[in-house]
Amino acid sequence: MNRVVALVLLLCGASLLAACDNMAKQPRDKTWTPADTNSTDAGPERKVWPPQPAPNTVAREDRPQPAPALTPALLARGKERYEIYCTPCHGYLGDGDGMIVRRGFPRPPSFHAEALRNAPTRHFYKVATNGWGAMYSYADRVASDDRWAIAAYIRALQTSQNTAAAELPETVRGTLR
């Protein structure tokens, strides 16, 4: 009898050990490690926080970044992005008569109104990042650098509509009709 009990106990113990072994091997998630940490948990399975965006994608949790340097290339990028994302409501000149507005969407203020002419460039960046009233956020579609590029282009649009002919360089003035 004692032998039977001992055998049963032995088998139970063995199966418990086996269970422990399975638990150690079962599928589980790796913990997040900060992107800037030299973690020893390196390798392909290492998860990094914040998630690193793949090329040509916008991270969902894109965080506001400082403004990149203002260059002609940034302005050109801003014009391109503005015309894709903002013209449907704000229009090509920024006066708020985009195609959707002509079809009944609430009309945004003109970028040439005094209040917005006096607003700092970062205001345009912030509105594109967080949304504003009836306008929703663009942070999940337009990356941070592109939002700055758009903000810079809005500044250029404002200048284009609010500069006296007399202030223009002579070469440009000659081309005016």
Contact footprint for ligand HEC (CB under 6 A)? 85-86, 88-90, 100, 105-106, 108-109, 116, 124, 127-128, 132-135, 138, 142, 150
Treating both helix axes as pointing N-terminal to C-terminal, what angle do 121-130 and 144-161 enclose, rounded to 10 degrees? 130
Distances (CA, A) of 47 to 19, 31, 34, 103: 28, 7, 9, 46
**Shortest reach from residue 81's CB to ligand HEC, in Å:** 7
For residue 175, how many other CB atoms are within 10 A of its CB?
7
**Nearest residue (CB) to ligand HEC, 33 versus 87:** 87
**Nearest residue (CB) to ligand HEC, 39 versus 97:** 97
Name the residue with the smallest CB distance to ligand HEC: 133
**Nearest residue (CB) to ligand HEC, 74 versus 108:** 108
**Shortest reach from residue 161's CB to ligand HEC, in Å:** 15
Do the beta carbons of residue 85 and residue 134 sit within 8 Å?
no
**Shortest reach from residue 24's CB to ligand HEC, in Å:** 50
Q: For CA atoms 113, 118, 123, 128, give the dihedral sign.
A: positive
**Nearest residue (CB) to ligand HEC, 105 versus 156:** 105
**Shortest reach from residue 134's CB to ligand HEC, in Å:** 4
- Residue 147: exposure state from Cβ atoms within 10 A (0-12, 13-18, ≥19): buried
H or E element: which one contains 34?
Answer: strand 32-34
At 27, is the secondary structure helix, strand, or coil?
coil
**Nearest residue (CB) to ligand HEC, 39 versus 107:** 107
**Shortest reach from residue 58's CB to ligand HEC, in Å:** 12
